[in-house]
A and B are shown apart, each in its own frame.
Chain A
Amino acid sequence: MTAPGSAGSASGAKVMALHLGVIAILFVAQFLLPAYHLSAFTRIMVLAVYALGYNILFGYTGLLSLGHAMFFAAGLYGVGLGARFLGLNPLSAFLFGSLAGGIFACVIGLVVLRTSGVAFMIVTLMFAQAGYLTILLFNDVTRGDEGFVLETTERQVTIAGGLLDFAAPHAAYNVALALFTGAMAFCLFLVRSPIGRVFIAIRENEERTRMLGYNAYRYKLAALTVSGILSAMAGAAYALLFGYIGASFASIQYSIFALLWVLLGGTGTILGPLVGTALMFYLVDASSEVTSSYLIVVGAILILLVLFFPKGLLGSLRRKKLRWLP
């Protein structure tokens, strides 16, 4: 496995150009895309932020969680319940949701990070399932499986005299793009920083990293918290942009989706989550037109990936051609 960023400033420029290029394409795309794909890409970018968050923990730190839906749901319900019961405006609801996810991730991390490997996977799965069941238990507040819809007024905010309506397609697209750009830039910065290097070192050899004097537990907790905050931000943005809050987002399936998107796009790559999310979105979309059992695609791709492309698309690309890809 290649640690990213081992080359000098020449590749640094290439990295900048590539990522700025992707953002520029996404920005221009909003003028070209028809309405359906505009909304699809809004969704993809928000979900890609969730995948980016997942990737920090799984791709860079090497911890495979099967319970990230709980952090996504923390953001989602943070916004939903915050707007409904605390009367928060969208911006403070977004902050509230993201913060809730971060605190949640940190507290849960204190417990789950005592385990590793298979036990870590099962414990995260169990916590997420407990979270999902808790949402169902407090049915009166959360409306359980049925979920609830945010009012139009709960999705509008006045900034500098202008009205920002998260329900308007172009506004939603640009908010999603801004969030994605911020998250991607942050991840790019993080994994190339000294802290990110320690994350990668833990992935490659935790024992050795500890021998070198790093407190692996603390770094893993940091990775989990950052990962939780990003996932919660995606959940919070999802609630604001699409206005629906439901328990299905907290189910095991949503944890598995994050894993799938990252695996498909490429674990431990910055653009992988976006590529994986977009590909899967359109694959599921296309196959759901053919059959109601479209999730079979999810199963088949998971198996094909672990068998033949354990590094995902961009991961394989990096190994073969573009060694400088972060």
Chain B
Amino acid sequence: MSLGPHLLLAFLEGSVSAFVLALTALGLSLVFGVMRVVNVAHGEFFMLGAVLASAFAGLTGDHTTFGFLLAIIGSPLIVGAIAVAADRLVLRRLDYQPEATIVATIGLLYIIQQATLMTYGPDAHSVAPLINFHLRFPWFGYSGYKLVVMAVAALLLLATWYGITRTKFGLIMRATQFDRETATAFGVPVDRVYAAVFALGAMLAAVAGVLIVPIRQAHYLMGLDPLLQSFIVVIIGGLGSLRGTLIAAFIIGISDGMISVFFAPTLGKILATLLVALVLVWRPGGLFGAKA
């Protein structure tokens, strides 16, 4: 294969990871933006989405389409419920202090991960994709399911964007983010907004997990990579800036795809990690976000 098709393949692969990453990172960014909580357990919500999708696929057997629909609606709902419970039982009692909540979400990470190990087991499971259609390029075949992933993710991103900027709930959410106390004074039920935002963030990660599971396998340790990547995206995009998060997700996703096709993936990860650390040190507002 010559360079051109190679680049095209790298670009396509990168776009798929970019869309999935954008969903995951958007969840993390929302939670940080509104609640000022760094959710270290975010990757575990992603993992739960994937694992639940594989469990649903196991239940429905050969009815792949039905299984997929069940998973993409059911998994986020279950994960959202878990997130609400975590918010009520733990985060709210800590009054959302930044450092205490980080420690608590580290604890949550271990609990979710190890509980999954107990029930789901240590093996990786694969799920049949929704469609088995292959796109034929002159140089290589490309899985049509990956295009479905991009389409669904784009749709969900648009829906979330619409929800935040154009609906009443979005307005209340932004008001809470802007000034918690004034929002309370104006009768905004801040507690409930927080629970809803935490659930929404978790659900976005879970959907991303559902979408990715036919491409990668479901495994109880799969949460760490999306967590670190989301951190990278959220920080480069600017903590709490949704537009920055989206831009950064595409830059990181596509460049990561490109680098992994041409170089060692570990090197790409090291560079991205160091870049983030340096961005946080010298541009704490992120590269694209508003100045903090």
Please tell me if the beta carbons of B104 and A303 are within 8 angstroms of each other in the complex: yes
Q: With the chains together, A129 CA to B231 CA distance in Å?
A: 12
Cβ A296 vs Cβ B118 within 8 A: yes
> Interface residue tally of chain A, by bracket?
35 or more
Q: Contact between A292 and B104 (Cβ–Cβ < 8 Å)?
A: no
- B95 nearest CB across to chain A (Å): 11
Whether the Cβ atoms of B106 and A121 lie closer than 8 Å is no
Instruction: Determine the chain B residues whose CB is within 8 A of the CB of A295 once the complex forms.
Output: 110, 113-114
- The distance in angstroms between the C-alpha atoms of A303 and B110, with both chains bound, is 10
15 more CB-based (< 8 A) A-B contacts, given A119-B284, A293-B115, A295-B110: A64-B102, A66-B102, A111-B278, A112-B277, A114-B281, A121-B102, A126-B232, A134-B270, A137-B264, A256-B106, A299-B110, A299-B112, A301-B107, A302-B103, A306-B103
B100 at interface, CB cutoff 8 A: yes
Q: How far is the CB of B222 from chain A (nearest CB, A)?
A: 15
Give A306 to B94 CA distance when docked, in angstroms: 8
* CB-based closest 4 A-B pairs: A299-B110, A302-B107, A296-B114, A303-B107
Partner of A293, one of B94, B109, B117, B270: B117
Contact A306 B270 (CB under 8 A): no
Q: Does A26 contact B (CB under 8 A)?
A: no
Size of chain B's interface in residues, with CB distance under 8 A? 42
Interface: B291 (CB within 8 A): no
**Proximity bits, B86-109, A CB within 8 Å = 1, else 0:** 000010011000111011101111
* Cβ-defined partner of A129 (8 Å) among B38, B228, B281: B228
Is B273 a contact partner of A300 (Cβ separation < 8 A)? no
Is the C-beta of B111 less than 8 angstroms from some C-beta in chain A?
yes
B276 within 8 A of A: yes
9 interchain pairs (CB within 8 A)? Answer: A119-B284, A122-B280, A126-B277, A129-B273, A252-B224, A299-B113, A300-B110, A302-B103, A302-B104
| Residue pair A111, B277 in contact (C-beta under 8 Å) | yes
Q: In the complex the two chains form, what is the Cα distance from A137 to B108 in whole Å?
A: 30
Our pick among A263, A299, A302, A305 for the contact of B114 (Cβ within 8 Å) is A299
A136→B267 CA distance, assembly (Å) = 10
Tell me the A residues contacting B by CB distance below 8 Å: 64, 66, 111-112, 114-115, 117-119, 121-123, 125-127, 129-130, 133-134, 136-137, 252, 256, 259, 263, 291-296, 298-303, 305-307, 310
Asked if B280 contacts A119 (CB within 8 A), the reply is: yes
Interface bits B119-154 vs A (CB < 8 Å: 1, else 0): 000100000000000000000000000000000000
Set of chain B residues within 8 Å of A256, measured between Cβ atoms: 106
> Is B274's beta carbon under 8 Å from chain A?
yes
CA distance A72 to B282 in the complex (A): 27
List, in ascending order, chain B residues with CB within 8 A of A263's CB.
103
Contact in complex: B270, A299 (CB < 8 Å): no
Please report the C-alpha to C-alpha distance between residue A252 and residue B273 in the assembled complex, in whole angstroms.
14
The verdict on B2 contacting chain A, using a C-beta distance below 8 Å, is no
B269 at interface, CB cutoff 8 A: yes
A123 surroundings in chain B (CB, below 8 A): 277, 280-281
